[in-house]
Structure formats: C-alpha cells, structure tokens
Amino acid sequence: MRRWLILMTAAAVVLPGCKTVSSSATQILLNTQNTPREILFLDDAAAHSARLERFLITRPQLSEAEKIQFLLESIRTSPYRFMRNGSDYKGEECMRWLRWKMGHRQYARNPIRTAADFVTRVADRSLATGQFYQAVLPDGRRVPLQDIMQSELTALEESFLLRGLANQIQIEAGLKSTQASDALPAFSSTGPQPR
C-alpha cells in the first residue's frame, strides 16, 4: 500500500494535470483549476511517446550526456523547421549547429555539463545577434526552441522517474507474491494429494 501511495504521490508531483488533450504538435494539460497549459514537443504526441519509450527501454540509468543526446536526436528527427538569425533550417542542420555550439570555445571556462545547461545556454539564442532560436510548428506558429527543449527534457526526466517507480512496484509485487506462495503449507508425499 505504501509503495502505491509513493507512486501516486510521484505521479501527482510529476504530472500535475488531471487530463491531457492531444493535437498534432502539442499536448494541453488541464490542471485542477481546468486552466490549459500548452506543452510543446518536437513531434506529435504519439511519435513523442514512442521516441521516449525507444530511448528509455535500454537505460537503467540516465546520464546528463545521454539527456543531451536525446535532445539533439529529437531535433534531428523532428519534422519541424528551425529558425536561427532569420534563416530557416531542417532538423539535421539545427542539431549539427547546436552540437558545434555546445563544444565552442565560448564555453571553455564554463562548459556545458548538464542537459539543463544545454537548454538554457545553448538552445536559447544566438550570442552573435541575441535573437532567440525558434521552431516553426505545422500551423506556422514560431515558438522559442528553448521552451520546446525544456518540455522535452522535463518529459524525459519524468518518464524515466515514473518508469523506475513502476519497475520498483512490479519487483516488490513479485516479491510479495513469492513470499505468499512460500508461506502456503506443503503437501506431504505420503499423505492425501489434492484433486
């Protein structure tokens, strides 16, 4: 019972909305006051879930470098277009630029060590012009790339946490059922056998 309470508490903290409404590029979370909060990802909700699942399936741990790699790969495979300093780029080009920027000498004294660093310091804006990087959604809207990257990172970390909690509950449930079967009385080989 206690583990279920922990899982439900974690789910409430991790996913505070009580209902999601999906569209092609966004998920709308309706919180307890039913005020919508748009959550943007780099692809539609089904593709996003599948991409998260494929990434997490083989990872018992999740390093900061793996989180950054997930974010870069999400950009590379995204069907969206990306804007940098007024120019339009495909996902592959955007990913290569951000990877190059992350290793640039401007970060030599204070390197990018975490995925949060990547989101706030690399995927935010051009240091040359100050213009924010943008993603162009299928409906034509332009949104700051940093906002989408933060949504992607949050979803990755929350999915990893929930996967770990679910696995722990399954393990403990298996242990309890094993313990319960161990406690059943054994039949005597010389006595009456069950029919």
> pLDDT tens-digit profile of 129-162?
999 999 999 899 999 999 999 999 999 999 998 8
CA Rg, the chain, in Å?
Answer: 23
* pTM, two decimal places: 0.69
Distance CA 75, CA 104 (A): 19
- What's residue 45's pLDDT? 82
pLDDT tier at 179 (50, 70, 90 boundaries)? Answer: low
- Tell me: pLDDT of 68 over 70: yes
- Residue 142 has a pLDDT of 94
Q: What are phi and psi of 21, to 5 degrees?
A: -120, 120
Amino acid at 141: R
**182 pLDDT above the threshold of 70:** no
Domain ranges of the chain: 2-167
Taking the CA of residue 130 as centre, how many other CA atoms within 13 Å lie in the half-sphere pointing to its CB? 0
